[in-house]
Amino acid sequence: MMTRNKKKELKKQHVQELENNTPIVEEPKEDKKTKEPTWSHIKRLSKETYTEIVSDLKNPVKRAVMRRKTSMRLVSILRGFIFLGLSFVIVFPIFQEVSLAFRHPIDLNNKLVNWIPETFSLFNFDLSKVLLDYWRGLWCNLKVSTISTICQLFATSLAGYAFSRLKFRGSNLIFWLIMLTLIVPPQAISLARTFFLDDFDILRFNFFGLWDNPGLFESLLGHGLRLKGEGKDIVFYITSLTGQGIRAALFIYLFRQFFRGIPIELEESAQIDGAGVVRTFWSVMLPNARGVITTVALFAFVWQWNDTYYTGMYQISGETFPMLTRKLISMSERIAGIISQPHYQDFLDQVGEGIAKNPLFVQVILNTAALMLMAPLIIGYLFVQRLFIEGVERSGIVG
């Protein structure tokens, strides 16, 4: 650093000297010989720099510095290229989807249309809005994702704190048992879980007919609770609240690693100041954990939003409670039925009857619907993005 600064200073001095010198040389010869003195000046300058470079090359220290500089520059250029390429790979499909979405179906087989649509229309959006049952579906998705994200945050942050700071004998064993929920695939337990949720009850045993216990709800209400089926979104909240939401174990892991990284002196000083355990957690630890909380909230929300597996398994989506992801999956079969309704007669006259059988058309409608599904997430991401990345930078999730 020192050498570089010195060199810079030297260069600055040099330039200043030159600037001070040149006007004195140039001013008297303003009228006629304008080119020659500047030419000689350039010559002189180039010679000076040449000798400087040669002397630099002979100096091993300067050579090493130059080598490092060039290698750093090369690396940064290479990095720029890689980032540019990969960003292109990421962003290109999005642009393509947007371009396709605004294209009127007339343009589909038009070879001239490549990026900018010739007939600009919102027809695709209108059709997929109807097919997705968009506004109601959006509301359902928002409700489910938001509430279950809050539940996940509650359960996982508490568990993460307990595993990192409130250790007792055997708490590591419990931690690894809970990590098992991440490793065991959901397919393995989904079957028994659906049977269980179909007739939910606590403390019900039937151990090969030897020990038969009817269960809490059955003895109270006369029947088990049905937590599965159309509109029963409460099952997501229950599972999230009990730390069994979508990949909750990963979130517990992240919280644990973060809380482990916070210096223990902070906790001790809070204790000396008279704060209890809960108080320490609430007013000392949680405000520091803003970064992790943002990260976890983002992932929990996005995974819940994009989830098809659990919504399919619990059969929550239906006419009264449309979830966008399930609607999107069943969409390609419903396009032909919707298009043949009288409402779209004008459109069919314009484009031709066979449009519903055109795979390109189906593709475009699906693309548009996918874009509409993603749109709230993208908008949300633009707002949260800065906080999220800042959080990644500061949190030091790994302890």
Partner 1 sequence: MENNNVKVKKSFKTQLQPIAKGFKKVIGFIIKNWFFVLFPCRLFKELIYDKMRYEKQKLFISWLFLAPTLLGFILFFAYPLVMSLLYSFSSVEPNGTFHFSEFFAKVGTQYDYTQVISTDILNNYKYALRVNADFPVSLWNTSLNTVIDTAVITIFSLLLAVMLNGKFKGRAFVRAIFFLPVVFNSEAITAALAAAEGVDAVLNSSGSEALTQLFDLEQFMQGIGVPVQLVTFLSGITSTIYRTISYSGIQILIFLTAIQSVPKHLYEAATIEGATGYEQFWKITLPMVSPMILTVVVYTIVDSFLRSEIGDVMDTVYNNNEYGYYAAMSWLYILASLLIMGIIVGILSKVVFYYDDKK
Q: Using CB under 8 A, which residues numbered 47 to 66 contact partner 1? A: none
Residues in the chain: 399
Contact region with partner 1 (CB under 8 A), list: 3-11, 16-24, 26-34, 354-362:
354-362
The footprint of partner 1 on residues 329-348 (CB under 8 A) is: 329, 331-333
How many positions of this chain bind partner 1 (CB under 8 A)?
Answer: 117
Shorter beta-carbon distance to partner 1: residue 41 or 290 = 290
**Degrees to nearest 5, angle at CA 124 with 322 and 335:** 60
Of 179, 194, 296, which is closest to residue 235 (Cα–Cα)?
194
Q: Decide: is 10 part of the binding site for partner 1 (CB under 8 A).
A: no
Residues in 127-156 at the binding interface with partner 1, rule: CB under 8 A? 135-136, 139-140, 143, 155-156
CA dihedral 166, 172, 176, 177 (to 10 degrees): -80
Residues in contact with partner 1, shown as a per-residue x/- string from 266 to 305 under the rule CB under 8 A: -----x----xxx----------------x--xx--x---
Residue 5, phi then psi, degrees to nearest 5 = -65, -45
Q: Which of residues 376-395 bind partner 1 (CB under 8 A)?
A: 377-378, 381, 385-386, 388-389, 392-393, 395
Distance CA 394, CA 387 (A): 10
CA angle, 23 then 25 then 31, to 5°? 90
For position 182 contacting partner 1 by CB under 8 A, the verdict is yes
Cβ at position 50, least distance to partner 1 in Å: 29
Cα 347 versus chain centre, distance = 38
Q: Which of 44, 79, 223, 334 binds partner 1 (CB under 8 A)?
A: 79
Neighbours of 29 (CB within 10 A): 12
The first and second tokens of residue 279, run together, are: 């108080």
Q: Which is nearer to partner 1, 348 or 374 (CB)?
A: 374
Residue 309 binds partner 1 (CB under 8 A): yes
Distance, in Å, from the CA atom of 181 to the CA atom of 296, rounded to the nearest integer, reads 17
The correct pick among 2, 24, 61, 89 for binding partner 1 (CB under 8 A) is 89
